[in-house]
């Protein structure tokens, strides 16, 4: 690949790009007499952007690649791929026949960057990867990009383990999925435990057992750790579990029915009852699938619905003739984009970090469907096909998914409308000039000052924005344990110090923001509202009274931040919900009516901040409780830690051991033994 940027271009590149005598001029590029188009903004801006694009176009090769457009701040506006870079970029320099979305993008373009690729397929894969990384404002963006859970039946030890799995497939074994939710995986794993009695414990736990655990007692595991079942019998049950997950469910159940009948005829009723329970567990897995298929073994179904300029894409997963769940996505896309464009871009990003199935069914035609299918096929060991079915069972699956997409988008629009009303009411209650788009709520959690954690939750027009949540481990050693005011100062100073560094605002922008009662992104004009979710809060809620509010004001003054509205929320002496007192700088303390919806909204925000802070504190406390001193010694990894614990039994015994005893431990060399001995005897 090769990169071409503004600084890489030779000095003679910056001609006007419109020489009529050039033999390699691209068809369709504008001449001096090209007609002007009346856009919704200053034509001069469009001309300036067009001129920038022409300068880059003049030296571009006619090869496949990916291009990026940047604004004057260096932020990426758009990422696109092209079979012919020169022709594709040249289409932006025509100065006519552009949609308003494309014209806005051109008007903001100050620089471009290019990556040439060997094929158009490679360009498509790179484009999807860059869009997910850079999140350009003019591209279709996936808003929920969590990895999907899988079921893994391991194959790297004497006793296969069944577990839920996320992320890269580095461990040896069989992976089954994806499942739409962790809940679906947990339910399936629990049923498979009852049916096949496979272990779910970790390898370290398995290797150190001397007697069966509780799962064996309640008939959720066959006890391979202590030899309660022969290795051959356990391997046979693991193979049966793999067969069931691979789609051979009827064969597995038929075999179990035969075993149950044979046990019953032999008067072994307890063994027959065990097979009966296993069959019931497998039937429970299949019975809750909702929509299953008869002729579609493996497919993902994508159905798109559009309402009020917003899009919803419902994705259903079908594996082994079973429905393994669905998930709704709400991609960010310009209103002017067609459903075909949105769906094609979404599918490319969706499979950027996960394998594609053999069949993809869609509700709308996909742009460059053959190219997308070829790109996805190049990343897996099978051929991928993209279809828009018109009849039959496949069409019924798409229609079912589309109904779900329509209902999900309708619910979201209703929730957004209600959220908008609440935000308007909140802005009026706290004296803001307009509804806040970004609300940040802060709370601290600790036990007598130990494991102190600060939490920040964020809410916006679509509800809680969990991707923006942050935790702060209290680091200051000067704070008195339990000093809530000092903790709040530290949290806010760290938060806004970083915000000033990453998204700085000029003094005029801060004053304009305060005057408008809302947040504008750095560099935007007064009255212009950024399409992106703002980085700066319109409103900061502090869980606490006047003291906490004063601490917050001191923190913001210390980092030179002004114009950010602060509100303290105090529960009062009896700490009853509904009697909160609000503290706003420059106003007397006040209360809201007990049944006011705005009050309920504030309570939800405060309770979410409280839940998040307490959860973060408990997680930190749990990590501290199970912390092993050996983890702090450089050079001690899992294998050497396991060897030391196997040899000595406990950390206390390791701490008391002499250097010679440590050096005699199997798998531990003299240097490691010296490091362990010195760690525990540093003060001796």
Q: 160: which residues sit within 8 A by CB, 6+ positions away?
A: 153, 154, 173, 198, 199, 234, 235, 238
Residue 314 in contact with residue 303, Cβ under 8 Å?
A: yes
Which residue, among 45, 23, 27, has the nearest Cα to 36 in the 3D structure?
Answer: 45
Give the distance from CA 332 to its chain's centroid. Answer: 15
Q: In sequence order, what DSSP letters do the residues of 593-632 get, joined into one string?
A: -TT-HHHHHHHHHHHHHHHHHHHHHHHHHHHHHT--GGGG
Domain range holding 26? 2-134
List, in sequence order, every residue forming a beta bridge with 601; answer none if it has no partner.
none
Question: What is the pLDDT at residue 73?
Answer: 83
Confidence grade of residue 576 (pLDDT, cut at 50, 70, 90) = low
Residue 455 has pLDDT above 80, yes or no: yes
Same domain, 646 and 545: no
Helix (H, G, I), strand (E, B) or coil at 60: coil
Q: How far apart are CA 256 and CA 633, in angstroms?
A: 51
Same-domain check for residues 271 and 332: no
Q: Which of 259, 287, 315 is the last residue of a domain?
A: 287
| Average pLDDT estimate for 587-597 | 87
CATH number where 358 lies:
3.30.420.10
Look at 242-246, 507-511, 558-562 and tell me which has the smallest mean pLDDT. Answer: 507-511
Q: Return the percentage of the chain with pLDDT > 90, whole number.
A: 17
Give mean pLDDT, residues 582-597. 88
Let me know if residue 145 belongs to a domain: no
pTM over 0.85: no
pLDDT single digits (tens) 654-676? 888 888 888 888 888 888 888 88
Q: Mapping DSSP to helix (H, G, I), strand (E, B) and coil, where does residue 603 land? A: helix
Burial class (CB in 10 A: 0-12, 13-18, 19+), 424: middle
Query: Is residue 140 domain-resident?
Result: no
pLDDT of amino acid 494: 92
Looking at the chain, the whole-number percentage of residues with pLDDT higher than 70 is 84
pLDDT range class, residue 203, cuts 50, 70, 90: confident
Give the residue, 575 or 116, on which the prediction is more confident. 116
Domain with residue 633: its CATH number is 1.10.150.20
Does one domain contain both 619 and 634?
Answer: no
Beta bridge partners of 306: 311
Q: Is residue 376 part of a domain?
A: yes
Residues facing 319 on adjacent strands: 298, 322
Residue with more model confidence, 546 or 645: 546
- Of the ranges 140-149, 244-253, 534-543, which is most confident? 534-543
Residue 144 lies in a domain: no
Residue with tokens 């957004």: 416
Q: Is the dihedral of CA 39, 42, 44, 45 positive or negative?
A: negative
Task: Check whether residue 497 and residue 595 sit in a common domain.
Answer: yes
Q: Can you tell me the mean pLDDT for 628-632?
A: 74
pLDDT reading at 432 higher than 60 = yes
Instruction: Say what the pLDDT of residue 29 is.
Output: 36
Q: Residue 4 pLDDT > 60, yes or no?
A: no
**30 pLDDT more than 60:** no
Judged by average pLDDT, the poorest of 360-374, 524-538, 635-649 is: 524-538
pLDDT, mean over the chain? 80
Question: Is the pLDDT at 262 greater than 90, yes or no?
Answer: no
Which residues are registered as beta bridge partners of 165? 150
For 24-177, where are the alpha helices, taking DSSP H only? 43-57, 85-92, 100-108, 120-134
Mean pLDDT of the 259-276 span: 79
Residues 348 and 454 in one domain: no
Same domain, 318 and 383: yes
- Report whether pLDDT(409) > 60: yes
The larger pLDDT score, comparing residue 20 to residue 490, is at 490
pLDDT at 85 over 70: yes
Q: With bands split at pLDDT 50, 70 and 90, how would you rate the model's confidence at 33?
A: very low
pLDDT confidence tier of residue 528, bands split at 50, 70 and 90: very low
pLDDT of residue 655: 84
Give the residue-averaged pLDDT of 385-406. 90
Query: Which range, of 31-40, 262-271, 322-331, 544-553, averages the lowest pLDDT?
Result: 31-40
Are residues 577 and 493 located together in one domain of the fold? yes
Cα–Cα distance, 169 to 173 (Å, whole number): 9
283 and 317 belong to one structural domain: no
DSSP code of residue 533: P
CA distance 605 to 361: 40
pLDDT of residue 578: 64
DSSP 325-387: EEEEE--B--TTS-HHHHHHHHHHHHTSSS---SEEEESS--TTHHHHHHHHHTTSSS--EEE
Q: How many residues would you count in the chain?
A: 684
Rg (CA), the chain: 31
Q: Are residues 616 and 510 in the same domain?
A: yes
**Is residue 218 located within the same domain as residue 314?**
no
- pLDDT tier for residue 23 given thresholds of 50, 70 and 90: very low
- Is residue 506 included in any domain, yes or no? yes
- pLDDT for 565 equals 93
Residue 424 maps to a domain:
no
The burial class, CB within 10 Å (0-12 / 13-18 / 19+), for 575 is exposed
Which pLDDT tens digit goes with each residue over 339-351? 888 898 899 888 8
Q: Are residues 308 and 393 in the same domain?
A: yes
Burial pattern 400-417, b for ≥16 Cβ within 10 A else e, equals bbbebbbebbeebeeebe
Say if 418 falls within a structural domain: no
Contacts of 432 (CB under 8 A, 6+ apart): 426, 517, 518, 538, 539, 565
Mean pLDDT of 381-393: 89
Please list the residues that pair with 464 across neighbouring strands.
Answer: 459
- Give the pLDDT of residue 284: 60
In CATH, what number is assigned to the domain containing residue 515? 3.30.420.340
Give the separation between CA 113 and CA 120, rounded to whole angstroms. 17
- Whether the pLDDT of residue 133 is over 60: the answer is yes
Relative to beta strand 65-70, strand 310-319 is unpaired
Other beta carbons less than 10 A from residue 154's beta carbon? 19
Packed helices 269-287 and 182-196: angle between N→C axes, nearest 10 degrees = 160
Confidence bin at 553 (pLDDT 50/70/90): very high
At 442, list the tokens: 């802060």
Q: Report which of 239, 52, 80, 274 is spatially closest to residue 162, judged by C-alpha positions.
A: 239
Which pair of structure tokens corresponds to residue 397? 């699956």
Q: Does the structure show a pLDDT above 90 at 10?
A: no
Domain boundary among 411, 442, 477: 411
Q: What digits encode the pLDDT tens for the residues 224-238?
A: 998 888 888 898 888
Total domains in the fold of the chain: 5
Residue 564: its pLDDT value, please?
92
d(CA 367, CA 130): 19
On whether residue 166 sits in a domain, the answer given is yes
Whether 5 shows a pLDDT value over 80: the answer reads no
Please tell me which residue, 395 or 483, carries the higher pLDDT value: 395
pLDDT of the residue at 90: 87
pLDDT at 569 over 60: yes
Tokens, residue 557: 């003054």
**Domain match, 14 and 78 both:** yes
Domain boundary among 287, 309, 331: 287
């Amino acid at each position: 690949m090769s990169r071409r940027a503004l600084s890489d271009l030779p000095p003679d590149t910056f001609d006007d790009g419109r020489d009529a005598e050039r033999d390699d001029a691209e068809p369709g590029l504008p001449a001096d007499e090209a007609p002007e188009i009346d856009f919704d903004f200053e034509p001069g801006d469009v001309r300036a952007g067009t001129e920038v694009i022409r300068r880059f176009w003049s030296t571009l090769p006619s090869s496949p690649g990916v291009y990026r457009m940047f604004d004057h701040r260096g932020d990426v506006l758009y990422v696109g791929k092209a079979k012919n870079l020169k022709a594709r970029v040249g289409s932006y320099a025509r100065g006519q026949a552009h949609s308003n979305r494309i014209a806005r993008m051109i008007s903001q373009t100050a620089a471009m960057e290019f990556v040439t690729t060997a094929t158009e397929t490679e360009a498509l894969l790179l484009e999807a990867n860059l869009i997910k990384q850079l999140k350009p404002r003019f591209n279709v963006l996936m808003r929920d990009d969590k990895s999907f859970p899988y079921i893994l039946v391991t194959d790297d030890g004497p006793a296969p383990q069944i577990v839920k799995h996320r992320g890269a497939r580095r461990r040896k074994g069989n992976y089954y999925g994806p499942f739409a939710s962790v809940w679906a995986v947990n339910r399936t794993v629990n049923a498979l435990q009852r049916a096949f009695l496979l272990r779910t414990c970790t390898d370290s736990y398995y290797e150190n057992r001397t007697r069966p655990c509780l799962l064996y007692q309640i008939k959720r595991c066959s006890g391979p750790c202590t030899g309660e079942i022969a290795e051959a019998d356990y391997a046979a049950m693991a193979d049966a579990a793999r067969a069931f997950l691979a789609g051979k469910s009827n064969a597995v159940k038929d075999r179990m029915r035969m075993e149950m009948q044979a046990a019953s005829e032999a008067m072994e009723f307890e063994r027959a009852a065990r097979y009966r329970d296993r069959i019931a567990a497998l039937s429970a897995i299949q019975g809750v699938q909702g929509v299953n298929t008869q002729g579609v073994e493996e497919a993902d179904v994508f159905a798109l619905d559009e309402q009020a300029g917003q899009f919803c894409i419902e994705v259903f997963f079908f594996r082994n003739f079973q429905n393994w769940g669905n998930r709704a996505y709400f991609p960010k896309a310009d209103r002017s984009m067609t459903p075909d464009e949105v769906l094609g871009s979404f599918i490319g990003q969706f499979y950027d970090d996960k394998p594609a199935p053999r069949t993809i069914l869609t509700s709308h035609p996909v742009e460059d469907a053959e190219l997308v299918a070829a790109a996805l096929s190049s990343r897996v060991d099978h051929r991928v096909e993209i279809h828009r079915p018109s009849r039959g069972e496949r069409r019924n699956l798409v229609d079912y998914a589309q109904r779900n997409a329509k209902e999900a988008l309708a619910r979201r629009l209703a929730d957004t409308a209600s959220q908008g009303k609440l935000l308007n009411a909140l802005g009026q209650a706290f004296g803001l000039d307009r509804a806040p788009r970004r609300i940040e709520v802060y709370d601290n959690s600790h036990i007598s000052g130990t494991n102190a954690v600060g939490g920040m939750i964020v809410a916006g027009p679509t509800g809680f924005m969990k991707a923006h949540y942050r935790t702060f481990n209290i680091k200051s050693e000067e704070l008195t344990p339990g000093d809530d005011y000092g903790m709040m100062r530290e949290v806010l100073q760290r938060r806004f110090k970083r915000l000033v560094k990453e998204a700085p605002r000029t003094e005029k922008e801060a004053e304009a923001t305060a005057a408008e009662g809302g947040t504008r992104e750095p560099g935007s004009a007064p009255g212009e509202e950024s399409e992106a979710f703002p980085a700066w809060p319109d409103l900061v809620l502090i869980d606490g009274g006047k003291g906490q509010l004063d601490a917050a004001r001191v923190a913001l003054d210390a980092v030179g931040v002004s114009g950010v509205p602060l509100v303290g929320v105090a529960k009062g002496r009896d700490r009853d919900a509904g009697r909160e007192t609000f503290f706003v700088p420059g106003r007397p303390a006040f209360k809201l009516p007990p049944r006011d919806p705005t009050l309920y909204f504030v309570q939800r925000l405060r309770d979410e901040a409280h839940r998040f802070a307490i959860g973060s504190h408990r997680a930190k406390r749990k990590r501290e409780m199970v912390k092993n001193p050996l983890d702090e010694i450089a050079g001690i990894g899992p294998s050497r830690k396991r060897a030391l614990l196997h040899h000595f039994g406990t950390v206390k015994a390791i701490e008391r051991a002499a250097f010679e005893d440590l050096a005699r431990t199997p798998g531990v060399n003299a240097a490691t033994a010296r490091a362990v001995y010195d760690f525990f005897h540093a003060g001796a």
